[in-house]
Amino acid sequence: MAEDSGQPASRRYVVIMPCRNEEQFIQHTLDCVVAQTIRPVECVVVNDGSSDRTGAIAEEMAKEHEWIHVVHREDRGERKVGGGVIDTFYSGFEALKTDDYAYLCKMDADLTLAPGYFEHAIGKMEANPKLGGTSGKVFNPVGDGAMKEEAIIDQMVSGAMNFWRRECWEAIGGFVREVMWDGIAMHRASLFGWETRSFRDEELRIIHHRLMGSSHKSIYYGRARWGRGQWFMGTHPLYILASGMWRLRERPYVIGGVLIVAGYVKAWMEGARRYDDLRFRRHLHRWQLDRLHLGWLAPKEPAGE
């Protein structure tokens, strides 16, 4: 059994941390978890075949803290984003020693958190019983101590720091093992009547030391992969065009937005696989078209649903 955190059952949470070749950051990230005002009942670090000291650093922390333990996966040759990250996450989930928790967190191993992060996140959940998933806003260091906020809408939970009410996470069926797993989780939560939210509160500020969507290969590859992921999720063509235009202003400027649309179109022309849930896709299209003020184009719910 995992060590008792001393917290009431309603505030107990577990952390699963997939990581690969994060020796530069993982010590700091684990120190942030250890320093939490409400610490997890269990933290599982999943070392996804790292070729550096990531696994060794995690093992050293596990020796110091009974509630931290490490799962080692074989080296698959390269970092596998999207579905590969979720495969790694589930290796940690299946290794949990406790079943007594109210919240579950998937977090990256290259983050900085304030000591009250999880206490504040739980407080948000307690204040709103319909809030199923939450995170803070994410900021990237850009040099000389400056930070740039990652652009995510308020309804989106950061993929780097997914904190879920267990009841909601189980209701939506957990995570899909594909790129856009976080977007699918958000929209499935909405489909099932839950709310998701990222907050700009200082206590929930997340510093992410790697730009989301940049990929282990290049930021250009990452943007095209993002578009392909939007195709898999079922995004409406009008929404991907609007999204690509909006992302023109982000690094890599102009080309990044173009590559998002190109990745989507390429997947479309190839007849690539899509998330096969028509009810979900109708719900997604209604949400996306409403955001574009084109709700009159949205598909109608069939009678009886």
Specify the long-range contacts of residues 142-149, CB closer than 8 Å, at least 24 apart. 147/207
Distance separating alpha carbons of residues 4 and 254, to the nearest angstrom: 51
Q: What is the structure's pLDDT at 3?
A: 47
Positions in the chain whose pLDDT score sits under 50? 1-3, 214-215
**CA-angle at 239, arms to 208 and 262, nearest 5°:** 75
- Identify the residue whose tokens are 């204040």: 127
If phi > 0 it is left, if psi is from -120 to 50 it is alpha, else beta; for residue 146 that is beta
Q: What is the structure's pLDDT at 226?
A: 92
Q: What is the structure's pLDDT at 195?
A: 98
Distance separating alpha carbons of residues 53 and 152, to the nearest angstrom: 32
In terms of CATH architecture, what is 9-208?
Alpha-Beta Complex (3.90)
Q: What percent of the chain has pLDDT over 70?
A: 92
Q: What is the structure's pLDDT at 219?
A: 82
**CA-angle at 126, arms to 125 and 127, nearest 5°:** 90
Distance separating alpha carbons of residues 122 and 135, to the nearest angstrom: 10
Two structure tokens written together for 170:
């189980």
Q: Where in the chain is the domain with CATH 3.90.550.10?
A: 9-208
Q: What is the structure's pLDDT at 222?
A: 86
Q: What is the pTM of this model?
A: 0.90
DSSP per position, the chain: -PPP-S--GGG-EEEEEEESS-TTTHHHHHHHHHT-SS--SEEEEEEES-SSSHHHHHHHHHHH-TTEEEEEE---SS---THHHHHHHHHHHTT-S----SEEEEE-SSEEE-TTHHHHHHHHHHH-TTEEEEEE-EEEEEETTEEEE----TTPPPTTEEEEEHHHHHHTTS--SSTTHHHHHHHHHHHTT-EEEEE--GGG-EEESS-TT--SS-HHHHHHHHHHHHHHHT--HHHHHHHHHHGGGSSSTTHHHHHHHHHHHHHHHHT------HHHHHHHHHHHHHHTT-GGGSPPPPTT-
**CA-angle at 161, arms to 157 and 163, nearest 5°:** 70
Residues 6+ apart with CB under 8 A from 60: none
- Identify the residue whose tokens are 């799962």: 71
